[in-house]
């Protein structure tokens, strides 16, 4: 058995195409959705993520502004910009790109995001609403994963689902969404005993642990659907040879770098029934759902 690929790029395109009509309807009413972004520090990955998000805004005709801050910025400076975005009528969604520099109090900054503009879904109010199954904005990566499953006709109700990772950004909200969709959910983490035995219980396995190639065939139930949330950069040839197939290895030889997930794709694809690729799996969906949340914020605020 070779796993079928769950194409996140195609699914993200479908979501964005559906948004175009809604954006046009809003603009006919004089409302152009707007996204305010805060980018602080010199993290290269963060800069790439923000660039990809603002490109998606340009593609859809969503207004966007990015406030750039040096790594030496203060909590007060970043907080002032978030407060400004919160009071402006032309900014419907606020995105604070994490991580923030060490000298900035991330908790204080995120608490200043207006819950009605919290398009990342990280504010305590929005997380609380998600717990109660009354969501306003759902964190983008888990929401995108659920869309991916639904649009590929993968039933969730009644299934055993295992989430590997317990972060506030992915693991916890993912578990809640799967639970609300009537799956029986287990959350695993670094302290879980006999981890492969537990993960093999999952008809659906979501890997969000942040360790390249960690999930291998021994972790996967035959026929399971495996969702790889990880985005890890590999630059060592020995590691690349272990994690990449022949086609991607040739590309690595040319570039000297490659992106890999938390799943060891070469071994898992022979066990799973379906697998998300990295890149081209969950990443594009995260951006698409950010756009969807921004449009929703504009609609609710209009």
Residue 128, Cβ density class (10 Å: 0-12 exposed, 13-18 middle, ≥19 buried):
exposed
Joined together, the tokens standing for residue 269 give 């694809």
What is the DSSP pairing of strand 274-275 with strand 225-228?
A: parallel
Cis peptide before 65 (omega within 30 of 0): no
Please state, as a whole number, how many other Cβ atoms lie within 10 Å of the Cβ of residue 207: 29
Q: Which of 95, 129, 111, 41 is nearest to 286 (CA)?
A: 95
CA dihedral 276→278→281→284, nearest 10 degrees, is: 170
Question: Which 8-state DSSP code applies to residue 263?
Answer: B
Q: Are 162 and 186 in contact (CB under 8 A)?
A: yes
CA dist 166 and 176 (Å) reads 11
Chain-centre distance of CA 208, in angstroms?
10
Catalytic residues, by residue number, are: 53, 97, 120
Give φ, ψ of 37 to 5 degrees. -115, 140
Q: Are 208 and 216 in contact (CB under 8 A)?
A: no
């Amino acid at each position: 058995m070779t796993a079928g690929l769950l194409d996140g790029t195609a699914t993200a395109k479908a979501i964005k195409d559906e948004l175009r009509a809604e954006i046009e309807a809003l603009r006919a009413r004089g409302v152009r959705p707007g996204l305010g972004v805060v980018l602080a520090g010199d993290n290269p990955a963060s800069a790439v993520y923000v660039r990809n998000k603002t490109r998606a805004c340009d593609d859809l005709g969503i207004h966007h502004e990015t406030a750039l801050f040096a790594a030496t910025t203060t909590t007060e400076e970043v907080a002032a910009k978030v407060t400004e975005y919160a009071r402006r009528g032309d900014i419907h969604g606020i995105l604070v790109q994490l991580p923030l520099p060490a000298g900035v109090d991330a908790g204080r900054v995120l608490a200043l995001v207006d819950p009605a503009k919290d398009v990342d879904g990280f504010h305590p109010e929005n997380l609380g609403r998600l717990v109660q199954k009354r969501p306003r904005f759902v964190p983008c990566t888990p929401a995108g994963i659920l869309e991916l499953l639904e649009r590929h006709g993968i039933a969730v109700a009644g299934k055993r689902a295992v989430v590997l990772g317990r972060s506030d950004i992915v693991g916890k909200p993912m578990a809640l969404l799967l639970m609300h969709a009537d799956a029986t959910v287990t959350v695993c983490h670094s302290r879980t005993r006999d981890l492969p035995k537990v993960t093999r219980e999952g008809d659906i396995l979501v890997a969000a642990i942040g360790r390249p190639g960690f999930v291998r065939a021994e972790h996967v139930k035959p026929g399971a659907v495996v969702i790889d949330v990880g985005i890890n950069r590999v630059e060592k040839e020995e590691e690349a040879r272990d994690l990449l197939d022949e086609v991607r290895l040739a590309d690595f030889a040319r570039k000297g770098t490659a992106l890999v997930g938390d799943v060891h794709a070469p071994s898992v694809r022979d066990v799973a029934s379906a697998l998300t690729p990295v890149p081209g799996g969950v990443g594009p969906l995260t951006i698409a759902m950010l756009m969807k949340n921004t449009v929703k914020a504009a609609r609710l605020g209009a």
